[in-house]
Amino acid sequence: MRSVCVVGASLAGSRAAQTLRSEGFDGTITMVGEEPHRPYDRPPLSKQVLAGDWQPERTALSAGLDDGLDLDWRLGVRATGLDLTARRVSLADGTAVAYDGLVIATGATPRRLAGTEDMAGVHVLRTVDDCLALRADLDRAPLRVVVVGAGFIGAEVAATCRRRGIEVTLVEALSVPLGRVLGTEIGSLCGELHRDHGVDLRLGTGVEGMDGADRVERVRLADGSAVDADAVVVGVGVTPATGWLEGSGLVLDDGVVCDETCLAAPGVVAAGDVARWTHAHVGEAMRVEHWDNAVQQGAHAARRLLAGEGPGAGQPYCPVPWFWSDQYDRKIQLAGRAGLDAEVAVVMGSLSERRFVALYGRDGQVIGALAMNWPAQAVRWRVRIADGVAWDDALTEARAGDRP
Amino acid sequence: MRVVVDFDLCESNAVCMVVAPEVFEVRDDDFLYVLDETPDEALRPKVEEAVRRCPKQAIAIAED
Ligand SMILES: Cc1cc2nc3c(=O)[nH]c(=O)nc-3n(C[C@H](O)[C@H](O)[C@H](O)COP(=O)(O)OP(=O)(O)OC[C@H]3O[C@@H](n4cnc5c(N)ncnc54)[C@H](O)[C@@H]3O)c2cc1C
Ligand code: SF4
């Protein structure tokens, strides 16, 4: 293998490139990225950058460690097609990149609400440019903001707006925010966090439409009510960015479908938000949209590419997924999985203090651990989940280790 | 190599401790302690990995 093309110059892609180099690959690495920017960190976009505390330059990744990797940057240009047989990626500027190995790391694109795609004042938040456009709108006081969707991005945007003293209405179609991810009890608690901070939380209702002359002025809800808005942020989830791969012969099904090792086709791997792979321990196909997965899977995919048909080729990618979300003065971290049908036990702290660790179990095993304002515990339990700790043992272990 | 942690950013999640326990430790008081601020060169790959894996991007390596 003499040349690798990485499509998607962000977290998973840059991690793949760095791993190729640290594993000794000295061929050409071409980094194709649609955004004009070098890789940067997205989590601060809904937090410090949106708050105005940080300038975007502070979102550089890995403290400059990757500056000397000798990469061929093709930034500000979109990949538009893939020829698997000729091993060639075509780009929007009419050129093409030939490769021996391909890393697909194009991430995901935010969903928009039909009919509001081009309306001024209606935002999504994925890129630094999205963030700065939204921030510019937030700088125009006085202001009422409507956030559509109380998932993690929506919740963080609502929290950041409140910190800036902005009036927020948060609209969520589900009756419990994050209910499907965190379960009913803890999801409800997340809803209370918003109400405690003065957010007008509207649950169980969708958005019917938006009105306005030059820009958005009002959001109409499915329950018949209407909310005045100077700006709207739509946080209703993302779609994996696979449009450029249509017709390439790769299997696309809510992401690029890979085997247990992150291989999508001979010489082609995928990583990060765009990749759907079969988790060998869980026995299910999954796609994970979190920071740590992009970092770990980017590295795994690079090693898989280098292994070819040789030793290490069969190494499955079996992480315990893990993410965090910072909202108001609370840090929420989930290791593993929760889910509505899981058993839940609060093993440290208490829900009323809003500082606790809850374990989720199924079939006698711990499948997830949620920590609120207890970051060290999330990682501790992540390690135990990877060990396959049994539910009963975990409860004993946790209660023995409880601290005031 | 000198390990520099921005304690305003660090949230003590112990990710770095899992990667490089020789250098980082989150203790029972939930604070991160840098056990060795000038670790041996042999530990460089592990420290670099900790820099890359820190979700808060709170670790840097200074060369002085
Ligand atoms: C505002 C925000 C806050 C977040 N906060 C958290 C958090 O607190 N905790 C957490 O765990 N996770 C968080 N995340 C999620 C985390 O940032 C993502 O999981 C991570 O960025 C995924 O990395 P990736 O490299 O797979 O994809 P991305 O970061 O989406 O990068 C994909 C790149 O590919 C480019 N691309 C797409 N299509 C093409 C094409 N056809 N040709 C060329 N380039 C293309 C895109 O422009 C983009 O630059 C947050 C995300 C956002 C947006
Ligand atoms: S990984 Fe980063 S945030 Fe976590 S304890 Fe280490 S330095 Fe702090």
The answer to whether the beta carbons of residues A258 and A280 sit under 8 Å apart is: no
How far apart, in whole angstroms, are the C-alpha atoms of residue A98 and residue A86?
8
Question: Which residue type is seen at B62?
Answer: A
Quick check: is A318 in a domain?
Answer: no
- Tally of domains within chain A: 3
The answer to whether the beta carbons of residues A105 and A67 sit under 8 Å apart is: no
A306 to chain B, closest Cα gap in Å: 19
CA dist A202 → A147, A205, A245 (Å): 10, 7, 38
On the CB side of A232, CA atoms within 13 Å amount to: 28
Same domain assignment for residues A387 and A296? no
Domain of B21? 2-62
How far apart, in whole angstroms, are the C-alpha atoms of residue A281 and residue B8?
37
The answer to whether the beta carbons of residues B11 and A375 sit under 8 Å apart is: yes
Same domain assignment for residues A151 and A294? no
Interface test with A, best of B4, B49, B52 (most A CBs within 10 A): B52
B22 to chain A, closest Cα gap in Å: 17
Angle between helices A291-307 and A11-22 (to 10 degrees): 40
Pocket test for ligand 1, best of A245, A286, A290 (most atoms within 8 A of CB): A290
The answer to whether the beta carbons of residues A366 and A350 sit under 8 Å apart is: no
The enclosing H or E element of A90 equals: strand A88-91
User: Where residue B64 falls among pLDDT bands split at 50, 70, 90?
Assistant: confident
* Among A241, A268, A24, A265, residue whose Cα is nearest residue A126: A241
State which of A181, A211, A234 marks the end of a domain. A234
Quick check: is A383 in a domain?
Answer: yes
**Full-model pTM:** 0.97
**A239 CB-contact burial (10 Å; exposed 0-12 / middle 13-18 / buried 19+):** middle
Quick check: is A324 in a domain?
Answer: no
Same domain assignment for residues A172 and A144? yes
Same domain assignment for residues A195 and A297? no
How far apart, in whole angstroms, are the C-alpha atoms of residue A134 and residue A14?
26
**Ligand found nearest the CA of A78:** 1
What value does the CA radius of gyration of chain B take, rounded to a whole number of Å?
10
| Cβ within 8 Å of residue A186, ≥6 positions away | A178, A338, A344, A351, A358, A370, A372
- Tally of domains within chain B: 1
Q: Whose CA is nearest to atom 2 of ligand 2?
A: B54
The enclosing H or E element of A110 equals: strand A108-110
Sign of the CA dihedral with A63 first, then A67, A68, and A74 last: positive
Quick check: is A43 in a domain?
Answer: yes
The answer to whether the beta carbons of residues A306 and A23 sit under 8 Å apart is: yes
CATH number reported for the structural domain that contains residue A34 in this entry = 3.50.50.60
Of A291, A380, A403, the CB nearest to B55: A291
Helices (H), A93-151: 128-138
ipTM value, please give it.
0.96
Quick check: is A164 in a domain?
Answer: yes
Same domain assignment for residues A79 and A138? no
What is the tens place of the pLDDT at every residue in A277-310?
999 998 999 999 999 999 999 999 999 999 999 9
φ, ψ for residue A159, nearest 5 deg: -65, -45
Quick check: is A130 in a domain?
Answer: yes
CATH number reported for the structural domain that contains residue B16 in this entry = 3.30.70.20
User: Residue A383's closest chain B neighbor by CA?
Assistant: B18
Same domain assignment for residues A289 and A338? no
Q: A258 is written with which tokens?
A: 């890979």
Q: Is B49 in the pocket of ligand 2 (CB under 6 A)?
A: no
The helix/strand/coil state of B54 is coil
Place of tokens 């899977």: A297
Domain of A334? 329-400
pLDDT of residue A402: 54
On the CB side of B27, CA atoms within 13 Å amount to: 6
- A187-193, long-range: CB < 8 A, 24+ apart: A189/A351, A189/A354, A189/A372, A190/A150, A190/A155, A190/A327, A190/A332, A191/A150, A193/A327, A193/A328, A193/A330, A193/A354
Q: A88 is written with which tokens?
A: 């060639």
CATH number reported for the structural domain that contains residue A350 in this entry = 3.30.390.30
pLDDT under 50 in chain A at which residues?
404
Quick check: is A20 in a domain?
Answer: yes
State which of A234, A260, A285 marks the end of a domain. A234
Interface test with B, best of A15, A49, A61, A62 (most B CBs within 10 A): A62
Same domain assignment for residues A51 and A95? yes
CA dist A25 → A1, A19, A228 (Å): 9, 9, 56
State which of A201, A234, A267 marks the end of a domain. A234
How far apart, in whole angstroms, are the C-alpha atoms of residue A263 and residue A376?
33
On the CB side of A176, CA atoms within 13 Å amount to: 13
User: Measuring from each residue's beta carbon to the nearest atom of ligand 1, which residues come in under 6 Å?
Assistant: A 7-13, 32-35, 42-43, 45-46, 78-79, 105-108, 125-126, 153, 241, 244, 272-274, 289-292, 294, 323-325
CA dist A138 → A53, A112, A166, A219, A234 (Å): 13, 20, 8, 17, 15
The mean pLDDT value for B12-32 works out to: 94
How far apart, in whole angstroms, are the C-alpha atoms of residue A320 and residue A337?
8
* Among A45, A187, A205, A201, residue whose Cα is nearest residue A125: A45
Residue B12 contacts A, CB cutoff 8 Å: yes
How far apart, in whole angstroms, are the C-alpha atoms of residue A97 and residue A99?
6
Quick check: is A267 in a domain?
Answer: yes
